[in-house]
Amino acid sequence: MNYFRTALLLAGLTALFMGVGYLIGGGTGAVIALVVAAATNLFAYWNSDRMVLSMYGAHQVDRQSAPELYDLVAELAQRAGLPMPRVFLMDEAQPNAFATGRNPDNAAVAVTTGLMRQLSREELSGVIAHELAHIKHHDTLTMTITATIAGAISMLAQFGMFFGNRSSNNGPGIVGSIAMMILAPLGAMLVQMAISRTREYAADNFGARIVGQPMWLASALAKIENAAHQVPNMEAERNPATAHMFIINPLSGHGVDNLFATHPSTANRIAALQRLAAELGTQTAPRPAAPNTPPRGPWGGTPSQRGPWG
């Protein structure tokens, strides 16, 4: 159902692009806009992983520098039938994570130090499995195609305003051009966000199946959502366009699946995972921390005694 909805939304976005091109009254402007938008997004497709990892100061780790994290990713990647992705760590207090890379052979999983410190090993497994699900489903490619079409629509709307035929007989006219310049990009943005939300639900479902315990991911989502309201991610605040990449919106975390949200409601995601747990007959929650003990990282030892990877 999620794949069908994604395909339907992409078809709608393509139809919107073609409709805007038709309103302008010529194919030349549509072709130019599509070529320019495609070139821009093709560059981003090949380089976005390095750009975003550098933006967040992520550094690559291996079995020697972060053995528990690296081995956990390796185990889950094997379960998912994926090649081993590169593993990165971000020195960021807010617990969060994202996946990037143009395809499974060139993928990377990045987690924050806050995620390592605040989540149990079971919860961290759920988060990493979610990110591997994005890689498995080629969601980076899907969102690149979406961005290409949305960018082309925005460019077409600008062309229609400044270069289009403003004759009331052969074009949209001045009022129609202004309306198109505002409404067409807005419509494209709404479809883009709807596709992003759809892919999050699909990644939750498949990620939970990778670890076999949907409630591990549900518990992690609740913790990350709560922390996102309390611990600011300043780099994300400076680059809000990257917010859709994270497992939970690092900016604010919306309470409902509204039209402008990049992520589904966390409550709705948890409810879907609870239904999946009932379907699979696995209601196991992560092991709680022992009472009256200082906070511990998922690998043992207090954060002040040991780094988040031992």
Q: Does 254 belong to an annotated binding site?
A: no
Amino acid 191 reads V
- Backbone φ, ψ for residue 60 (5° rounding): -75, 140
Q: How many CB atoms lie within 10 A of CB 88?
A: 22
Angle among Cα 185, 188, 189 to the nearest 5 degrees reads 85
Q: Which one is catalytic: 131, 225, 235, 237?
A: 131
Mark whether 131 is an active-site residue: yes
Provide CB contacts within 8 A for 225, sequence distance 6+. Answer: 248, 253, 266
Query: 61: which strand partners?
Result: 87
Query: 98: which strand partners?
Result: 110, 246
Compute the radius of gyration of the chain from its Cα atoms: 21
Q: Does 200 belong to an annotated binding site?
A: yes
Gap between the Cα atoms of 86 and 88, Å rounded:
7
Percentages of the chain per state (helix, strand, coil), in multiples of 5: 65, 5, 30
Gap between the Cα atoms of 29 and 305, Å rounded:
62
Cα 123 → chain centroid: 18
Q: What token pair was written down for 279?
A: 């379907």
Q: Does 134 belong to an annotated binding site?
A: yes
Would you please indicate which residues are annotated as catalytic (active-site) residues?
131
Q: Residues forming the annotated binding site?
A: 130, 134, 200
